[in-house]
Structures are given as C-alpha cells and as structure tokens.
Structure 1
Amino acid sequence: MHRIAQIGAGRMGSVHLGNAAANPRLDLALLVDPRPDAGEIAASVGARVADLDGVLGDASIEGVIVASSTDTHLTLVRACLAAGKAVFCEKPLDLDLAALTAAEAELSQPKAPLFVAFNRHFDPHFRALRAKLKSGEVGDLETLQIVNHDPAAPPAHFIPTSGGLFKDFTIHDFDMAGWLMPDPFVEIFAWASCLVDPAIAEAGDVDTARTLLRDARGRICVISNTRRSGCGYDQRIEAFGSAGMAVAGDVAQDAVQVWREAGAVSAPLYPGFMTRYAEAYRGEMDHFADILAGEAEPETAYAASVASLALAEAAARSVATGAPVRL
C-alpha cells in the first residue's frame, strides 16, 4: 500500500477522502485541514490530523491529495513536489494563466509526478466515446457538441471566489474538447448572458453561454452551458464524423421504464456532479494509485491545465469584446 496524505476536507475533499480511504492500494494516513471537526473527519477514514510541515517532512508519505481552496492549489502543489511527493491536485491547478505559465519550468517537468484531476477523463461513458472516435468507427471527426448543464445555480456567494463560469464550469468542457478533437484549436468565440439568477450578474458573472471552437482544418466544437437545466444534471456529448455519429447520452439513475396508457415514465437524471461522476472520481483515484506504483504516467497534468485555462480566459475575452479570439 502507498501511504498518502490529503490537504482539505471540504466539498471536493470529502469525495476524495472517501475514495482514497476505500482504495485497497492506498493508506490514507494524514489529513491537513483547519476546521474544528478535522479530527473527527480524519478518524472517520482511519487517518489523523497533521500540519503541512508534518506531511512534507514525513518520508513515509509518498503522495498528497491537494483538495483545499482553489487559491491555495499552486502554492501547495509546488511545496509537495519540492518535497518529493507525488501530487493529486483537484482541478484547477490555478485560476491565473500568467501564474501557471510562470511556473512552466518547474511544473512541466516536476521532480515527482503531478496529476491534475480532470475527472471526466475517467467517466466510462466518455472514455468509451473517445475509443469509438479513435478507432474510426464514425470516420473522420468533423464536429463535436458538448452539453454541460447544471440542475440549479450555485449560491451567489460562491461566484466571486469560483473564477467565474468559464474557469469554474466550462473548464471541464474545454478539457474534454481538447481530449476528443484531433487537432489544437486556433480560434474561439463565445456568447454569454445571465438568464438564471440576477444575483450572479450582480456578482459580476454569467450563468448561460455558448462557445464555438475551431481548429486549423475548420472542424468545429460547440459547448453549451447553463446553471439551470430544469431536468437534472444534463451531461451529453455528440460527435459527428464522416461516416456517422457517436453519442454519449445522459445517464439516468436507473434504466427502468414504466409504460402506461399516457406513455413512458423513467428514472430522473442524477441531481448533481457528485453522483453522476461517482465512478469517474473512483477511477481517478485508481489512476493515482497506478501513478504511485509506477504503472502509469499522469493522464492530465500541467499541459492540460494550461490548455484549458487558456481557453477559459480567451472565452471571457471574446464575451467582453464581442469578437472571436485567435489562439
């Protein structure tokens, strides 16, 4: 077993704590978190509370999960890597592209493995879709449509520290677009509005967007985002090729349908990301165990973080200017 520590036990931290504790190849030994009940949280997963220096100075700790607030990610990742610890960092690595590019020499060739956890790479439906595209089952990919709709808007107080719609939310879709499309994008155009919650506009953000991406061969990706679907957590990808179409559709909570005279009734979509992507979160923890065992290289690391953040910043510029942005 690989002995690890985790920093942060908040919303995403609680997901990673449970998955790390349940993984038979990982020994979750230490938790760093300032909250008063950190000791109880640590004990619930068989760990104990420590401080950062204690984690960095413990030679038995092979890896660290960084799941603290986003504004601390880059500093903590750099400290852990400098101490020779492999790192699992909850996305994003940072919200400032300039800060990330300034750290390129250090993070593109880190002293220890750096895995930035874009969880959708590990969703079995999206992985199967990518395999179909890579095998050529629908011919040459020509256009891609990604639908990422939240069931309901977050509280307005979340907005100022989130990085905004493009950096907090659409960043997953930018990562998926780069993963599924065969060539880098050369141009981006985005429209955005606040149609769901006026408090989001008052906080300086938008809640609804359509983004177009184009590569050098003219292939197009369309990304649809909203903070309110009205029908649950709507997560779909449609890929159109020269010989057909491949679709990863919405996932319902079960596949049972009841048919009556009025028609069919089926299970609802998942209510949010924690349940819809539960298997993906377990998959990325398995991937971290593979990394620690020397059996895999990080699927998503510094380069993926920079690429998705660059698209997020370019989309925001396009909205602000009303014009396409060359990449």
Structure 2
Amino acid sequence: MKKVQIGIIGAGRIGRIHADNLLRMPGVEVSIVADLFANEELQDWADARGIAQVTKNSDDVINNPEVDAIFICSLTDSHVPLILAAAKAGKHIFCEKPISMDIHQTKAAMEAADAAGVKLQVGFNRRFDHNFKRVRDYLEQGQLGDPHIIKITSRDPNPPQEHYIEKSGGLFMDMAIHDFDMARYLSGSDVVEVFARGTVLVDPVFGKYGDVDTAITTLTFANGAIGVIDNSRQAVYGYDQRVEVFGSKGSVTANNDYPNTTEISTAEGIYRDKPLHFFLERYQEAYVEEVRMFVDSIRTGSKPPVDGNDGFQAELIALAAKLSVKLGKPVRIADALQLAGEVTV
C-alpha cells in the first residue's frame, strides 16, 4: 500500500505534535516541513525524524507532486490563503482552528475545498477525547433520549501572555470556539440563537484589547435543546474540562482527567490530585486520534469527521457571542452576518 505523504506548514508546537503523531502511524510519511523561521534547530529536529526536506517557503509544500495532504499549523491569518492554494493544487487539507477571523473568508475557503473535491478537516481535537466521545456514543445509542440541556465547563489553568491576547481574536473565537463545536457535536443540532455575557475578572490586560476573560454563553439549538457554557481564562486548580448532557431518559457527565485516581482520607480532610494542568496532557490521545481519522478519510474516501462546515458553524457562534456581549441581547445565528456589518466587535 502506497504511503500517504504529508507536508506540514508551520513547525511550531502544534505542527511538531502533529508530525510526531503522524510519524508513529503505519503507512504515513511526513516528507516536507515549511516554516518561515526555519533554522538549524528545526533542521536537526527534522533530521532526527527522517523528514527529508525543510524549507522556509510554503509553496514548496503546496507544489510538491508527492504530497497528498497538507497540515496547516501556521498563524491564523495565513490559513485561508494556504487553504485556497492547497485546494487549487488538489491537496487534502488539515487546518488548525479557527480557519480564519473573518467569517466571509472562512466561507470562501470552505467552498474552495468543496469545489476542488479535496478533504478539509478542522482541528477541533476535543471531539476525539475518550470522555466526550463516550458521551456522544450514549446519545447516538438513544440511552439518554432527546437532549434537553447541554452544560460545558471550560477553564484554562493560566491566562495567555499579552502578546497572544492582542492577536487572539478574543475569548470567544480563540478559546470558547472549541466549546461551541463541542456543543454542536453533543447536541447533534445546529445553534439558532446565542446569548452571552462576558467580563474582565482575571487580568485588566484583557480589557485593554476589548476582550473578556470570564463568560457565560447560553445557546438555543434547532432541536429545542438549551446549552450553557462557562469559560474562564484562569482556574487556579488546573485545566477544568467537563460536560454534562441531560436528556429525556437520563443524564451523563464527563469529569476531568487526573494524573491518577487515588484519594486519601484523613482526620484533616479528603485529598486527591488536581486535574491535568495543560491541554497537551489532557488531550494527548485526542490529538493522535484526530490525525488518524483524517488519514483514514484519505485512504477510504470517506468524509472527514470534522469538516469545513463544522469550522464555519463554530465561528458563526463565536461571532454571535461577541455581538451578544456588545449589544447586551440575544443574537440569532441567521442575523449574525448582517449585524457584523453594522456593529464593530
């Protein structure tokens, strides 16, 4: 069986994680990596993994006739031009989230991939977490009946640095977008209305850039279910990632992952370890599974498990949430694009 040849654009932390996960898979070869800041250190990293070529020019990846699929792990503002070029070259595409900060550009990228007949998968890795996947399985099997309430808690252990906050796109587009995708995934339904409240409680630097660090978002789904998401940029006890789905036949909860399951009880109290502290620990296996399923979709010709429309819908919800905070009222998804042209967010 011919190996699936992969090229990677963007060799920062996430690009290297994807490369290492891909290289452990049978029948897959990472043959070229591009990064604007490629240097001797990157060359040494690539040599240690048997990656044949390192370049500073993304066109070398896109125009390489041996490459079947491209992983876009570069800065967000480069995603759409790279998707358009990769689609034109007939390459399958895995793109980190979000596709872009501009919903119109995202739509254009999605349509370009569809028109070219190439696969486009968006990096919403939490769908592949073993806990959340089990929740979805219960729903699909009908064990919970019709979903009524979706609750998602998503809190980071530490706020990002100022230079990141400035260009992040804000809490809803940068952080909560994972939760918006998870809400659609768990409910099995699109969102029709968003009502969000946000404030600055962690660090005034968020307000400096018109952002918030603490938020509650209420979602109304097309199937009638209701969703509640709470986000914070700082949970002092660790990375807090929990979901609950309440349905007509029962409920299911997925709690945090911990370094171990031991618990000690003494006269002074009951103690256990804090949750896993970093997203790379919490979602380590999810990163592996998402790229495995992307490669499988190339081999089998099946639809990617998280496609361009999933990325587009999550960005629409994020846009509606930002508008809702700005306007102080619920925003219907159908009205978000028009309102975005009238209100600066």
Query: Shorter-chain TM-score: what band?
Result: over 0.9
Report the equivalent of 2:11.
Answer: 9
Q: Deviations over 1:182-222 (max 9, x none)?
A: 33222110000010011121122111000001134542100
Instruction: Report what 2:54 is aligned to.
Output: 49
Aligned to 1:98: 104
Residue 233 of structure 1 and its aligned partner are, at CA, apart by 0.4
Verify the 8 A CA contact 1:145 1:238 in the aligned structure 2.
yes
Secondary structure class of the residue paired with 2:7: strand
- Provide closer, same or farther for how the CA distance between residues 76 and 288 of structure 1 changes in structure 2, counting only shifts above 3 A: same
SS in 2 for 1:239: strand
Structural mapping, 1:238-317, within 5 Å: 238-294=244-300, 296-317=302-323
Question: What is the aligned partner in structure 2 of residue 29 from structure 1?
Answer: 31
State whether residues 122 and 280 of structure 1, in contact with CA within 8 Å, keep that contact through their aligned partners in structure 2: yes
Q: 2:164 aligns with which of 155, 158, 161?
A: 158
Question: TM-score of the superposition, structure 1-length normalised?
Answer: 0.95
From the superposition, tell whether residues 109 and 260 of structure 1 become closer, same or farther in structure 2 (CA, over 3 Å).
farther
Classify 1:177/1:109 alpha carbon distance in 2 versus 1 (closer, same or farther; 3 Å).
farther
Q: Is the 8 A contact 1:156 1:203 kept in 2?
A: no
**Maintained 8 Å contact 1:25/1:289:** no
Change (3 A) 1:103 1:15: closer
2:236 is matched with 230
| Corresponding residue number in structure 2 for 1:200 | 206
Provide the C-alpha distance between the structure 1 equivalents of 2:90 and 2:70, rounded to a whole number of angstroms.
Answer: 10
Partners in 1 of 2:185 and 2:153 — Cα distance? 15
Name the aligned partner's letter for residue 124 of structure 2.
F
Hey, what's the Cα distance between the residues in 2 that align with 1:24 and 1:262?
Answer: 52
Letter in 2 for 1:25: G
Deviation at 1:104, TM superposition (A): 4.8
Cα deviation, residue 249, structure 1:
0.9
Relative distance call for 1:289 and 1:208 in structure 2 (3 A) is same
Query: Which structure carries more relative contact order (alpha carbon 8 Å, separation 6+)?
Result: 1
Structure 2 unmatched runs, 5+: 334-345
Deviation by residue 1:48-87 (Cα, 9 ceiling, x = unmatched) = 2033232223221111111011110111111112111111
With normalisation by structure 2, the TM-score equals 0.90
For residues 3-43 of structure 1, the C-alpha deviation after alignment (integer angstroms, 9 at most, x for no partner) is 11111111222221221222223111111012223312322
Q: Which residue of 1 aligns with 2:42?
A: 38
* Alignment deviations for residues 284-303 of structure 1 (CA, whole Å, 9 cap, x no partner): 11112202212532111111
Equivalences, count: 327
Aligned to 2:64, the other structure's residue is in SS state: coil
Distance 2:134 2:223 in 1: 25
SS in 1 for 2:175: helix
Residues 298, 109 of structure 1: CA spacing in aligned structure 2 closer, same or farther, 3 A cutoff?
Answer: farther
Tell me which of 132, 139, 152 is aligned to 2:138.
Answer: 132
Structure 2 counterpart of 1:253, one-letter code: P
2:81 aligned partner: 75
Paired with 2:262 and 2:253, the residues of 1 have a C-alpha distance of: 20
Give 5+ residue unaligned stretches, structure 1: none
Higher mean C-alpha displacement, 142-151 vs 293-302: 293-302
Larger mean Cα displacement after TM superposition, 122-131 or 175-184: 175-184
**2:261 alignment partner, SS class:** coil
**Contact 1:190–1:319, Cα closer than 8 Å, also in 2:** yes
| Cα offsets for 1:280-319 (capped at 9, x unmatched) | 0000111122022125321111110110000000000000
**SS of the residue aligned with 1:12?**
helix
1:114 lines up with 2:120 in the alignment: yes
- In the alignment, is the contact (CA less than 8 A) between 1:147 and 1:234 conserved in 2? yes
Counterpart check, 1:19 vs 2:25 = no
1:141-185 superposed Cα distances (whole Å, 9 cap, x missing partner): 101101100011001110121111000001001111111113322
Contact 1:147 1:223 in 2 (8 A): yes
Q: Which shifted more, 232-241 or 53-62?
A: 53-62
In angstroms, what is the RMSD of aligned CA positions? 1.6
Q: Which moved more, 1:300-309 or 1:99-108?
A: 99-108
